[in-house]
Amino acid sequence: MRPTLMDAAAAAGRAAEAHIASGCTICRRGARLAELCPDGQRAVTEAAHQITPHLMDPPCAHTSWEVTSERDTPAGWVKHRRCADCRDRLEPITEPEPHWPQNTAHALQLPAAVRTDSAPPGPARLAALMRSRQHWRDGRLVSEGTLSQAEIRNALGWGEPEQVHGITWEPGRMDRVREAVRVITAGPSAFPDLTDEWVIRTARVLLPELLELVELLHARVADLEAHGCRCYDPTSHAPGCIKAYVRWQGRTYPAAVWYRDGDGDWWAPVSVDSRGCLVLLLNGDTSNEPVPLDRADEEHGPVTATAYGAHVPRGDLPELISETADA
């Protein structure tokens, strides 16, 4: 009979019990996997893996892919892809150059390649670095996603990140909070000793610890907002952010400026959809429905980028020419 998920869970539970019985002072019975010490997590994972192999394996990251077919379109070469590791089909991409060598004669004349080490830092240098990791395998061009964080920072011209200490929270520290929530949720019918006095006394004990956690989270959020790029926020992108520009159907669109349609209305970029198309909000108002760029072009005329940055408030943007003339 083929092992099931329940068999793996039972084996993991037995491994946890054996680990605790061996004298571990950190792990406790009934703890979650993340609350166990590293040795306990390793013992539980290995026990479950022996029962059901690949149960704990993460999904394929699709770091390398192959082109199965391609066609030439006005927007570029549309390439249908397949993962070189798990063989799953991936979303097609559009690139200016062809994939197959025999199609090179039909491709547009491209400018000479720029050396990665001499190109100025920015998205173009990162793109050149990614192209340099492509190679031929069995007559097919394969892209390997093997860029390290240091290489990406160097290509974009970013400095070394500052040492940021994360929030340390010992395993089992929230046990008293979970127990109090469980008792209060069950009610007096299950716990006759659940009185107002007990609730007040318990809250006085737990409140300082919860307030300390809130302060740690607040400090962590403030640190991330100070150092990270708040993409598609009313503030502009950080210098060198690869999301500051969106590539869609062979064209590059800035993602940190206001757009204007044929009727003179203003649109603010907020995100990209699953196709990679820029998504806009009319007047930047979140009560409106987000509209993809291609649909806005079709329904409201050509939508073009302006010189006004995304950090400019909507009230500081000029109104329609007709409204200005009437005034």
pLDDT of 79 > 80? The answer is yes
Which carries the bigger pLDDT value, residue 327 or residue 119? 119
Helical (H) or strand (E) element with 218: helix 196-227
Q: Is the pLDDT of residue 86 over 70?
A: yes
Residues 232 and 270 sit within 8 Å (Cβ to Cβ): yes
Among 102-106, 132-136, 205-209, 319-323, which stretch is predicted with the lowest mean pLDDT? 319-323
Higher pLDDT among residues 121 and 324, named by residue: 121
Q: pLDDT-derived band of residue 136, with 50, 70 and 90 as boundaries?
A: low
Q: Between residues 238 and 106, which one has the greater pLDDT?
A: 238
Q: Is the pTM of this model over 0.75?
A: no
List of long-range contacts for 278-286, beta carbons under 8 Å, 24+ apart: 278/246, 278/248, 278/253, 283/314, 284/234, 284/258, 284/314
Q: Is the pLDDT of residue 110 over 50?
A: no
pLDDT score at 161: 60
